[in-house]
Amino acid sequence: MREPARQRQQLPRPIESSTDRTALDQAIAGAPQPYQLLFTLLREAGMRAGEVLALNLGDVSLAAGREGLRVRDPKNGTERVVVLGPTSTPRSLRMLRSHLKTLAGQPAHVPLVRSPRGTRVSYDALHYQWRRVCERAQLVDAAGAPRYTLHQLRHTRGSELIEQGQPMEIVQRVLGHRDPRSTQGDAALHDDQVHAALEQGRR
């Protein structure tokens, strides 16, 4: 008797089109706050949506050379620090510095970002605003649904770091992957990368 074939897990893929990446970046820049900050952290820092929504004021460190975000309850069950930097995450740092001025004097346990009602921003609100971003970027299907998911921003960041030549260990650390196989999913080369490498080799 043959064993039933295992269904292969389909992992979210990075956004391969540079045109679509640019369109999303421009649409994110036009999103209302605090969603512009949330989407920028997802895009630049490669964080999970749940990690960003769970951030408190006290989780942010903007001391020069030690900029980072403390993730207290990530998916893999271990605490980590998301490293930020003026070169690697410039927009995130700029917006965080501006946002923290509006929270001056508040206790460390308050949510980093809050809804107009003063509560922690919900998944539903975040996904609604993501749909608006995709509409502005004209990246929706015939039914009006976003062509890309929020989680693909995370995989896109991993793919970009690999394209920059960052070691796999660094990319794994940035994304908070405990299993290196998760990071490998972002390492697939795009056709244009292969073409550019081959042409450079010929020259």
pLDDT digits (tens, 9 = 90+) for 168-181: 777 777 776 665 55
At residue 163 the predicted structure's pLDDT band, cuts being 50, 70 and 90, is confident
Q: Is the dihedral of CA 41, 46, 50, 55 positive or negative?
A: negative
Closest CA to 45 of 188, 184, 198, 176: 176
- The residue ranking higher by pLDDT, 2 or 65, is 65
Domains of the chain in start order, with CATH, are 18-102+111-187 (1.10.443.10)
Cis check: omega of the bond before 74, within 30 degrees of 0 = no
Q: Give the phi and the psi of residue 140 in degrees, each rounded to 5.
A: -125, 155
Count of other CB atoms within 10 angstroms of residue 24: 26
Task: Quote the pLDDT of residue 110.
Answer: 95
Q: Which value, to the nearest 10 degrees, does the dihedral of the CA atoms of residues 20, 21, 27, 28 take?
A: 150
pTM over 0.85: no
Tokens of 149: 């998911």
Amino acid letter, residue 203: R
Q: What's the pLDDT tens digit per position in 67-126?
A: 999 987 655 567 888 989 899 899 999 999 999 999 999 999 999 999 888 899 999 999
